[in-house]
Amino acid sequence: MAYTDRIERVRSMLEEQGWDGLIIERAINLAWLFGGRFHVNVAAEQGLAAVFISQQRIESAVSNIEQVRLAAEEGLSADSVHAYPWFDGAAREAVVRRWREQGRVVTDSEAAEAMLRLRIRLDAEQVDAYRQLGRRTSWAVEEACRLARAEDTEADLAARVAALCVAQGLDAVVLLAAGERRAGLYRHPLPTSERLGRYAIVSLCARGSGLVAAATRTVAFAGLPEELARRYDAVLRVEARMLAATQPGVPLAEVVREAQAAYAEQGFPDAWTEHHQGGLIGFQSREVRADLEQSLPVPSLAAVAWNPSVAGAKAEDTFLITASGREWLTGTHHYPQTQVRVDQVTLTRPWVLVKNA
């Protein structure tokens, strides 16, 4: 029923905007509509099909390479399918041109803001898929950390995460890994051949069923460095303030202001300027990045991933936000935990895994 409900949401949008039809071609929007994978290249923005939705009909245009698989495995459904030879781009364009001639018809790129509003408000089927994705995402990161050794390279650690993703049917769309030296230098440390040293931080954004979940974990070897513990505790407290402020209807800018205050309280007043703080997550690693000018309110049923950091320490997880509270989608799997209290609320958060201590 969720697919039918999404079609109805599109049709309501068409009516509200005065449009006669919508052509969906972007992979993220096709994934939102059907709940499947509409890419071969994980970085591709263009999807493997084009779908036309009007008040009367749903049509699709898809190459002969992808037609059967998309219908059988990825949920592609339409009242009529226009299959064209993979080598005949003109045939596809002729179909799209006929769609465009049916009145005031827009593409999903032209209607990007309207499509964003549809994507960020989750439905029940997407919530169920997110729960599965969240568990798999955190397991991939944590299992890789449990297997890590100080003499491993950052690339070794990232390779384990990637393999665990693939084994669960997930795409690692963002994968960062930093050992002791680089963790304090860079906020986006793409993995290198450098040895991990005393500790490592690994961050993953994994995609499944079109959705993306984010998680970061830290592992230390032969003891927990005192400065790492201090900084990691600080970012957990900043994150807790942000989570406490994240409620339906609250502007994203207000959450960032809470983060500013929390960083100052923890002794890192400028850290918020050194990296973005995260925002709404969904069918992209961040659907909306929060900043001090972002007035968009938190939707009534949405996912967020905040990622506060100071040099050498970072917190990041994916949460479902509802009117009744928050749900930790990327919860731990026998990973060390700690309790963080803020505004009369106690949150359970992951701590640093210490190996061979």
Q: What is the pLDDT of residues 209-255, one digit of tens each?
A: 999 999 999 999 989 999 999 999 999 999 999 999 999 999 999 99
Rounded to whole angstroms, what are the CA distances from 344 to 244, 340, 341?
10, 10, 7
Angle, CA of 35, 321 and 29, to the nearest 5° = 25
Domain boundaries, the chain: 2-120, 124-355
Q: Angle between the 154-167 and 124-147 helix axes, to the nearest 10 degrees?
A: 140
Residue 186 has pLDDT above 90, yes or no: yes
- Identify the band that residue 345 occupies on the pLDDT scale cut at 50, 70 and 90: confident
Q: In terms of Cα–Cα distance, which of 213, 227, 245 is closest to 320?
A: 213
CATH class of 2-120: alpha beta
- The residues, any chain, with a CB within 8 Å of residue 319's CB and separated by 6 or more, are 243, 246, 303, 304, 305, 326, 327, 328, 329
Give the pLDDT confidence of 85-108 residue by residue, as tens digits.
999 999 999 999 999 999 999 999
pLDDT for 47 equals 97
Residue 1 has pLDDT above 60, yes or no: no
* Confidence (pTM): 0.96
- Identify the band that residue 204 occupies on the pLDDT scale cut at 50, 70 and 90: very high
Q: How far apart are CA 225 and CA 34, in angstroms?
A: 47
Q: What's the mean per-residue pLDDT of the chain?
A: 96
In terms of C-beta density within 10 A (0-12 exposed, 13-18 middle, 19 or more buried), how is residue 121 classed? middle
Do 257 and 248 contact (CB within 8 A), yes or no? no
Mean pLDDT of 189-196: 98
Judge if 2-120 and 124-355 fold alike in CATH terms: no
pLDDT for 342 equals 86
pLDDT for 10 equals 98
Q: How far apart are CA 97 and CA 34, in angstroms?
A: 23
Q: In terms of Cα–Cα distance, which of 265, 181, 177 is closest to 217?
A: 177
What fold characterizes domain 124-355? Creatine Amidinohydrolase (3.90.230)
pLDDT for 343 equals 81
Give the pLDDT confidence of 274-285 residue by residue, as tens digits.
999 999 999 999
Cα 346 to its chain centre, rounded Å, is 25
